[in-house]
Amino acid sequence: MAGLDALVVGQVCRDLVLLVDEVPGPSRTASVRRRRELLGGKGANQAVGLAQLGVRPGLLGVVGEDEVGDRLLGQARSDGIDVAPVLRRADTPSALIVDVVDAQAHWRYLEDIPEATLLTEADVAGAAEALTAARAVLVQLQQPLPAALAAARCARTADRLVVLDGAPGDPAGGTELLALADVLRADAREAGLIVGDPPADPEAGLRAGRKLLARGPSLAAVEVAGEGNAFVWPDGEVFVPLSDTPTVDTTGAGDAFVAALTVGLLRGEPYEQVARYAVAAAGATVGHAGGRPALTPEAIDAQLARLPAA
Ligand SMILES: Nc1ncnc2c1ncn2[C@@H]1O[C@H](COP(=O)(O)OP(=O)(O)O)[C@@H](O)[C@H]1O
Ligand SMILES: [Mg+2]
């Protein structure tokens, strides 16, 4: 566990991505144009993104003791992820997400995420060493609240950079979670769950960011659907529009975004630069099908060049 830069607490699953021209109606058939089978799940995607951006990630999640679990861990290892904290659970299949994407880039997810593949509070308690060894801990709020809270508490106590992605399921636990966070990143829907309404325009995104900031974090990043992302910190804010990259599938762009945000912060870059880097990583992910990021320096540079000048 020594030398880890970031530990990601979140989902690991098998991703089956199917590109079709059109999703068939009932009693209809569609040919699949392209199939990709990937290591997926938000936790794994974020860890892959971190590794691609040059930091050493670990992963805390759950897979089954099945062949799929073996394959997922093998892939994660070859991606440069420390999988020692990943739990293998007997008597459960590993999680599966089928991502069906049509020619208009509309996705539909079919999720088989058995309860036993979610993290428990006890799982997190057992991983205290990994949680305190890394400089940053990324917690995905799609995990059950007690597990997310336990991870954030443990990381905070050890004075680690605590990065949250998503929205807490219940408002009471959410208050403590936000107070424990250094960074909160929410897509438009998730931001709506916390502040009341999904932001409809850049000004509303910045307003939502300021509301989130008041609840604990020192950096809030809020998506405004179809427009871009608002970033707010105690003495500044910026709205970064989307790049003009043609979208094939937005899946995983949020995960790439979170990975890049974390890497920028670990490097001690100014918030404004971190913001552009995060949006560049998202933009570098929307042009391909499936959630797995492909964050090469060339891809990031090409995206930065497409963003309006700072
Ligand atoms: N063309 C684009 N350029 C830059 N960022 C984009 C573009 N299209 C979408 N994004 C960003 O990608 C992110 C998608 O986030 P999210 O819905 O959380 O994805 P996921 O949960 O599947 O990883 C949002 O922050 C959105 O603004
Ligand atoms: Mg997301």
- With respect to residue 23, please indicate whether it lies within any of the assigned structural domains: no
Residue 118 · residue 147 · CB < 8 Å: yes
Res 310 pLDDT > 80: no
Which residues make Cβ contacts (< 8 Å) with residue 302, sequence separation at least 6?
284
109: tokens are 């997810």
* 108-to-12, 34, 46, 213 alpha-carbon distances in Å: 19, 15, 21, 32
- With respect to residue 52, please indicate whether it lies within any of the assigned structural domains: yes
- With respect to residue 35, please indicate whether it lies within any of the assigned structural domains: no
> Chain-wide mean pLDDT for the chain?
96
From ligand 1's centre to the CA of 85, what distance in Å? 28
- With respect to residue 154, please indicate whether it lies within any of the assigned structural domains: yes
102 burial (CB, 10 Å; 0-12 / 13-18 / 19+) is middle
Which of 106, 257, 307 is the best mutation target for the ligand 1 pocket, counting ligand atoms within 8 Å of the beta carbon and taking the most? 257
Q: Whose CA is nearest to atom 18 of ligand 1?
A: 254
Which ligand places an atom closest to the C-alpha of 247? 1
Domain span including residue 279:
6-12+43-65+118-306
The per-residue pLDDT for 89 is 98
- With respect to residue 33, please indicate whether it lies within any of the assigned structural domains: no
> For the domain that residue 299 is a member of, what is the CATH number?
3.40.1190.20
List residues near ligand 1 (CB under 6 A): 187, 223, 229, 242-243, 245, 247, 250-255, 257, 279, 282-283, 286, 291
Backbone angles phi, psi at 125, to 5 degrees: -60, -40
Digit-coded pLDDT (tens) for 139-181? 999 999 999 999 999 999 999 999 999 998 777 778 999 999 9
What atom of ligand 1 comes closest to residue 190's alpha carbon? Answer: 18
**pLDDT band with cut points at 50, 70 and 90 for residue 2:** low
Beta strand 6-9 with 57-60 is: parallel
**pLDDT band with cut points at 50, 70 and 90 for residue 138:** very high
Q: How many domains does the chain have?
A: 1
147: tokens are 């597990």
- With respect to residue 248, please indicate whether it lies within any of the assigned structural domains: yes
- With respect to residue 97, please indicate whether it lies within any of the assigned structural domains: no
β-strand partners of 269: none
β-strand partners of 34: 19
- With respect to residue 149, please indicate whether it lies within any of the assigned structural domains: yes
Please state the three-class secondary structure of 1-65 as a single string.
CCCCCEEEECCCEEEEEEEECCCCCCCCCCCEEEEEEEEECHHHHHHHHHHHCCCCEEEECEEEC
